Structure 1
Amino acid sequence: MKVLVFHIGADRYGLPLAAVQRVLPLMELKALPLAPDAVAGLMNLHGASVPVIDLCRISGGAAAPQQVDTRILLVDYRAPQGEPHALGLLAEKVQGVQDVDAAALSPSGVAAAPFLGAVAGDAAGLVQLVRLEELLPPPLRALLFQPEGEARGIPS
């Protein structure tokens, strides 16, 4: 299986390549006042507003440093029993595409973070898969992906 490997701090994580639309350079994001810490802001993608989540923050760390190699991963996010949405993921550093042997994956044993999946080892250490569908807790998902009329405070 092909995964896009990125860093949160010193640790490596992977997303199935099929879920990644594009890897974008860091761009200016519109801040969202009173938004939860994990929300880095909104990006303008060809005229569409796309929410961006800071992967460092959503995993409990400090905000991702904004450096030359910081990237935004544009992914197809689909919540359980939900509609697909474009979502940006602010990644501290993207390492690249890597083949992960599905047979070599082992359970992580981490129940505290439901979005963390199986782990695979290689010469560089461990890569832990991110379960994209579990990344956003339901309250954050509801906040970011409201029906269009409700997002403006207008009942639909």
Structure 2
Amino acid sequence: MTRQLITFHVGSQCLGVDIMATREIRAWSPTTPIPQVPAFVRGIVNLRGMVLPVIDLSARLGWGDTEPGARHVIMVLQIGDRQYGLIVDAVNDIATIDGAAVQPPPGISGDGQDELLEGIVSVDGEMVLILDLERLAHNFGVPEEVAIAA
């Protein structure tokens, strides 16, 4: 069975998410910090009247903090019944993959970060890490009233 992914870069790493979870891609805009959330929660932005929590994906994956600038974008994703923004370096393309070609994550990190991956697939000769959005969103630490439309 085939499926479609939106592929994007965080640093030098190529990642992908299911196209059906992607709501929009918007230019970087500064966030408003909120107190008592994990460091990878960069803050919130106003998305047409909705308060949108913005997550530093690099920091969430344990790869270090992003210093966002004009070249970065915010991918707005629907995860469960909430929308979140993920800071990424650049969005690449839509890739159609064969579900049978997806390999399981290696399970070798020892820090639980592999659990954030659904699998790995090769797209045009490049390894793409497919994010497990439900696991990624687990314990974001964003207060319920912030993570839901205002």
Contact 1:8/1:91 (CA < 8 Å) preserved in 2? yes
Q: Which has the larger radius of gyration?
A: 1
Contact 2:79/2:137 (CA < 8 Å) preserved in 1? no
**Aligned with 1:33 (options 32, 35, 48):** 35
Cα distance, 1:145 vs structure 2: 4.1
How many residues are matched? Answer: 140
What is the root-mean-square deviation in Å for CA atoms of aligned residues? 1.8
Gaps of 5+ in 2: none
Instruction: Work out whether 1:22 is the aligned partner of 2:24.
Output: yes
- What SS does structure 1 have at the residue aligned with 2:144? coil
Cα distance, 1:75 vs structure 2: 0.8
Contact 1:70/1:92 (CA < 8 Å) preserved in 2? yes
Larger relative contact order, structure 1 or 2 (CA cutoff 8 Å, min sep 6): 2
Percent identical pairs in the alignment equals: 22
- What is the TM-score when the length of structure 1 is the normalising length? 0.81
Contact 1:70/1:94 (CA < 8 Å) preserved in 2? no
- What SS does structure 2 have at the residue aligned with 1:144? coil
Counterpart CA distance in 2 for 1:126 and 1:13 is 8
Counterpart CA distance in 2 for 1:102 and 1:68 is 35
Instruction: Work out whether 1:115 is the aligned partner of 2:112.
Output: no
Gaps of 5+ in 1: 79-83, 149-156
Contact 1:30/1:43 (CA < 8 Å) preserved in 2? yes
